[in-house]
Amino acid sequence: MITHPSRHCAVELQALPSRIGQVRRIVSAQLRYWHMDSLIDRASLGVTELLSNVHRHAQPDKTCTVEIELLLDRLKVSVHDHDPRLPVMADASPLATCGRGLAMVAAMSESWGAVPDGESGKIVWFTLPTPSATAAPAWDRQPRITAGEPADRRFAEVALVEHTTGDHHAGRTPARSTVPG
């Protein structure tokens, strides 16, 4: 899939506990910039689990690259490391203190996978669906005058018109003027 350069972010790092929190903050900030706030929690959880796996298992080093791409209908988060061994989702016992990371990534994502990356490395990735394509982005809303106020009001009521495929009146919340009169 093709992505616009402004819809792609990559960070190279050592997968150390102190850096994992930093990458989580970078991912959160980038998603806010793209107005994808609803994906922050799941993307942060997923990238934390993938980076924790690099920290715990990757050999010969902990160097990796985190990439996030905003595609047409999904967000793709991937971690590239230099260990060619592909991860295996384990069946963790109820008392196990680790071994559930990939199962958690699988449960909270739309899809996930791992692929070899050249001779010495791999890419582990997951995708999240973006907010509904039927909801109009904020820049596609148009102000319109409504007849919601009594005739003696000096200012007409302004509402945001939502462009949806369903009921045209659902979800519309009129704005109210704070100016008396």
Say if residues 111 and 46 touch (Cβ distance below 8 Å).
no
Name which of 71, 63, 83 is nearest 126 in CA terms.
Answer: 71
pLDDT in tens, 69-82: 999 899 999 999 99
pLDDT in tens, 78-98: 999 999 999 988 777 777 667
Q: Which two tokens mark 27?
A: 């991912």
Q: Which two tokens mark 116?
A: 């070899």
Strand partners, 73: none
CB-CB neighbours of 19 under 10 Å: 17
* 108: confidence class by pLDDT, cuts 50, 70, 90: very high
Distance CA 126, CA 168 (A): 35
> What's 1's DSSP letter?
-
